[in-house]
Amino acid sequence: MRSPFSSNKRTAPSVFPENAATPTSKAAMGEMACCAPCGYLYDPSFGDPDGGIAPGTPFEDVPKDWACPKCGARKQDFFTLTPDR
């Protein structure tokens, strides 16, 4: 038997902008990380271009030898901020 709702049509967006940054959705791609010593905020959507971290890099993918651009603290001195939805 057929129900009118059985046709599960999904309309996927035909064009998905890969390069479009979405600054409005904060922490959409990962947790922000805060430098404990100086309070510098690492935003995954911005990365740290000066430190060689491309925008869109989650903090967990930041190399261990990366250092805080402000105070030089190591990655282990950062703590992640869980976005409160």
Among 49, 55, 70, 79, binds Zn ion (CB under 5 A): 70
Q: Does 68 bind Zn ion (CB under 5 A)?
A: yes
Options 29, 34, 40, 80; binder of Zn ion; rule CB under 5 A? 40
Secondary element (H or E) of residue 66: none
Helix (H, G, I), strand (E, B) or coil at 77: helix
Distance CA(36)–CA(83), nearest Å, equals 17
By beta-carbon proximity to Zn ion, the closer residue of 28 and 38 is 38
Q: Is the CB of residue 61 less than 8 Å from the CB of residue 55?
A: no
Q: Residues in the site for Zn ion, rule: CB under 5 A?
A: 35, 38, 40, 68, 70-71, 73
